[in-house]
Structure 1
Amino acid sequence: MVEPTPVTTGATQVREPGDPAADVVDLCSALIRFDTTNRGNGDSAGEREAAEFVAAALSAAGLSPTLLEAAPRRSNVVARLAGTEPDLPPLLVQAHLDVVPARAEDWTVSPFSGEIADGYVWGRGAVDMKDMIAMVLSVLAAWSRTGRRPRRDLVLAFVADEEDRGDVGAHWLVKHHAELFADCAAAISESGGYSYAVPTASGGLVRLYPVATAERGTAHLRLTAQGRAGHGSRRNDDNAVVTLIEALARLTAHQWPVQLTPTVRAFLERTSAALGVTADLSDVDGTLRRLGPAAALAESTVRNSTTPTVLDAGYKVNVIPGAAAAEVDTRVLPGSEQDLLAEVDRLIGPGVRRELLTWQPAVQAPVDSVWFTAMADALRAEDPEAVVVPYCMGGGTDAKAFATLGIDCYGFSPLLLPPGYDYRAMAHGVDERVPVEGLRFGARVLDRFLSS
């Protein structure tokens, strides 16, 4: 077992053996102190030490974890906890161990200090997503101390490489070890179940808890234009840079039509009702304006999107290159993948070649399901004023891998957040931190949900 460097925090309180929040703060701090930076394209600090720490915590809770690696130091931890009703289909709890880079000079504290100060646990991964790993481990530790077990089997997967392509993480596990997850009916992971305070039409406040029941698909594209190389001072009607720029201009100017998936439709209707505003689904943009700050949870998911992010052309200012390329981050709603690609081809025209760099289909789980109901019940048990709504993630998670096995994937990593705390700015941001009391709240919610 790898031990992180201890810190003195004064944050740990004496709690009852069965309290699921007893260990969560110190566990989160310890996990942050493992540098699991993933820079992409195989450049990673590695997840092994963090994985060994997690495996030791699982073993201490009475489980028998397995470490699996597709590449040296790129560790995944999988374990199974037997429930009291083995005929029920298992639930998968999946979380990633890796984090995005952090520049220490930009931070108030060292990004891998795990410092506990001002009511927060600070550091890279605090909300993305070592907080959830800590909550799950603290729940399992409490169960072990009191001899409790869940109703259904739990399959636990703490994986590598989510912050890149998952080639040595979730996607590799699904491809090479699918039998570990074959009987799972549903899964929970990051990016849902956190509180989001929104003003109502009457001047009050509503605490929304968005639970992710869908994700847009990912289609990263490379567009390449070929032309005639030549001197920059001479007329050239076959300039690859010009052809590419014109294609990108048409693509970015295109207004993708509104497409309401079941999740987004339910979000607009239920959130509007909670805020006391009108949901006019024939005027989605107008409805979003009436939602105020809550619109941020849906505005990127009522349409497909095509966003140029990388340009590559030329090597000298007076030389017209023979080729120019761009990469486009394309996100696609469930059920519209082929229509989107056909429209992209029409917009860029015959002079530009399109390649698919990444293709991960959209995720769509049932909104009105026993799983969603159980999540809502667990949240309301800890916060009676919670308004739980489904939402669609604009980006993506490892759910894209596990959904290919027929598992209904949900984003449910519960937190109660204080006023003024910008949760959406924390993941991948400077001074990432998670509130101590929010962690304890989340551990209690997960205890209710996972056990019932």
Structure 2
Amino acid sequence: MTSQNTAPTPVPSAQDEVVQICQDLLRIDTSNFGDGSGPGERAAAEYVMTSLHEVGLEPELFESERGRASVVVRLPGLDPTRPALVLHGHLDVVPAQADDWRVDPFGGEEIDGLLWGRGAVDMKDMDAMMLAVVRQMVREGRKPARDVVLAFFADEEAGGALGARWAVDHRPELFEGATEAISEVGGFSTTINGQRAYLLQTAEKGIGWLRLIADGRAGHGSQVQTDNAVVHLAAAVARIGQHRWPYVMTPTVEALLRGVCDLTGLPFDPEDPATVDALIDAMGSAARFVGATVQNTSNPSQLAAGYKANVIPGRAEATVDARFLPGHEESAMATLRELAGEHVRIEPIHQDIALEVPFSGNLVDAMTSSLLAEDPEAVVLPYALSGGTDNKSLARLGITGYGFAPLLLPESLDFPGMFHGVDERVPTDSLKFGTRVLDRLLATC
């Protein structure tokens, strides 16, 4: 009896797996309400653990508090003498009101080539790409060019105190030897004057979540009251909300706008806000991000005062979400204190640094070449993020962070508008594109 040769079972590729992985993650509710009331990240962290264990890796899961779980594993590289790279994502998402969505925000539905769900763009898409690429590399016996610390953090959507910041403060040995990091909100495409451009994040604004507190004299609502906490607070909120912050061109923003100037032929004068506005408008949906990076911002977001219509409260509070350009944190806070006035004091809820790093060097070159290998006719430009990422926490260890979650997107998709918005969705083809780019990057950087 003769035996027949059987073909070996093919190794699943990252492109084969990434959509299912993303779908699975979207179906795990990891809503972060910022007050400890959400479900936490434990279920998603266990999913990540299982995915990594399946290919023979030995990741570590740890909790900062019950249910607030993060996962880290180190992949040995071809050249262990080189500094390590941190490839990181976060597992939590902002809450979603189901009634506002066209689909179940935690259903992970695939409709017409798009995956829908809370976290589809922020940032379970990148989590899925990271998992899929690493699983493929390990199955195929391939090593990254250098050591890679793969991390999935809790709590990014509330500032990272229970995730990346906790890991940096309590488990710094996990990141030993790492000097650079890549994570979310960069490497996505936009179209400028008919030219596809990928925006690589090299800066992000600082965070100032602030509480405004006004004290006054409590009393009966029928009496004349000249020391009214609600009035003091309302005036301060109005001044802060209506303040017109001046335009400031940081190196990253100026480099981006000069690139847009080259692509469009529009004039650029850093001292002329009209030319800046025109260049931002030329960036299509990406203008949502870029428009908030030419100035500091301060948006009142919550109000609280009183307990009965005919009782003047002795205290009133508001919160403000302030975002500061790199190098302008102190001057912006001084302006906010002046705007708040003598009757209102400001207390920090959460503050964190702004970041700005060079659009140059071996890692930037590798990210750029990995994108252009898949999309040769495109260009790559630096940009600043109006929000923040866990790169802020890693910076405490001297790690230089970039935003690079590569996605080739259809021009019609308002990608920036879906961050923390309703009906988040990501094209499945974009996920597959991202795995190809990330695979190239880890092999060469």
Question: Do they superpose with TM above 0.5?
Answer: yes
8 Å Cα contact 2:288/2:416 also seen in 1:
no
- Structure 1 Cα separation of the partners of residues 280 and 332 of structure 2: 28
Is the 2:190–2:411 contact (alpha carbons within 8 Å) kept by the matching residues of 1?
no
Name 2:215's counterpart in structure 1.
226
Structure 1 residue 19, shift from structure 2 partner: 4.2
Match of 2:152 among 158, 179, 194: 158
Matching of residues 60-139 of structure 1 within 5 Å? 60-139=54-133
The normalised TM-score by structure 1 is 0.91
* Same amino acid, percent of matched pairs: 49
Determine the structure 2 residue equivalent to 1:331: 323
1:317 positional shift: 2.2
Shift of 1:117: 2.6
Q: Which AA in structure 1 matches 2:276?
A: T
- Map of 2:379 onto structure 1: 387
Contact 1:30 1:114 (C-alpha < 8 Å) held by counterparts = yes
Partner of 2:206: 217
Counterpart Cα distance in 1 of 2:43 and 2:218: 51
The residue correspondences of 1:332-411 to structure 2 (distance < 5 A) are 332-411=324-403
**Mapped contact 2:280–2:291 kept (Cα < 8 A):** no
Deviation at residue 432 of structure 1 after TM alignment: 1.7
* CA deviations over 1:148-184 (Å, ceiling 9, x no partner): 1111100011111112232221111111011211321
Please tell me whether residue 416 in structure 1 is matched to residue 408 in structure 2.
yes
- On the 8 A contact 1:18/1:146 being kept in 2, the answer is no
2:434 is the counterpart of 1:442 = yes
Residues 333 and 76 of structure 1: is their aligned pair in 2 closer, same or farther, counting only changes over 3 Å? same
TM-score by length of structure 2 reads 0.93
- 1:347-387 per-position Cα deviation (integer Å, ceiling 9, x unaligned): 22222212111111112222223222211111111001222
What secondary structure is seen at the aligned counterpart in 1 of 2:402? strand
1:286 aligns with 2:280: no
- Map of 1:237 onto structure 2: 226
- Structure 1 residues 381, 336: closer, same or farther in 2, change over 3 A? same
The 8 Å contact of residues 277 and 291 in structure 1, kept in 2 or not, is answered as: no
Equivalent residues of 1:18, 1:143 under 8 A apart: no
Q: Deviation at 1:86? A: 0.8
Alignment check: 8 A CA contact 1:313 1:325 kept: yes
**Local SS of the residue matching 1:40:** coil
Is it true that 1:176 corresponds to 2:170 in the alignment? yes
**Offset of 1:102 from its aligned partner?**
2.4
Between stretches 165-174 and 183-192, larger displacement belongs to 165-174
The reply on whether 1:313 has 2:313 as its aligned counterpart is no
In the TM superposition, residue 319 of structure 1 has moved relative to its aligned partner by 2.4
Q: Distance in 1 between matches of 2:98 and 2:211?
A: 33
| 1:10 alignment counterpart | none
- CA RMSD after TM alignment: 1.8
C-alpha deviation, 1:189, in angstroms: 0.8
SS at match of 1:308: strand
Q: Does 1:257 align with 2:246?
A: yes
The DSSP-based 3-state class of the residue aligned with 1:158 is strand
Give 1:304's aligned amino acid.
Answer: N
Displacement of 1:289 in angstroms is 1.7
Rounded to whole Å, the distance in 2 between the matches of 1:427 and 1:99 is 10
Indicate the residue corresponding to 1:429 in structure 2.
421
1:32-69: CA deviations, max 9, x gaps?
A: 22222222211121222221221122223332200111
Would you say the 8 A contact 1:61–1:140 is kept in 2?
no
In the alignment of these two chains, the number of paired residues is 433
Runs of 4+ in 1 over 4 A off after TM superposition: none
2:5 is matched with: none
Deviation at 1:16, TM superposition (A): 6.5
CA distance in 1 between partners of 2:172 and 2:200 (Å): 26
Give, in angstroms, the shift of residue 230 of structure 1: 2.3
Name the CA distance, whole Å, in 1 between partners of 2:367 and 2:273. 27
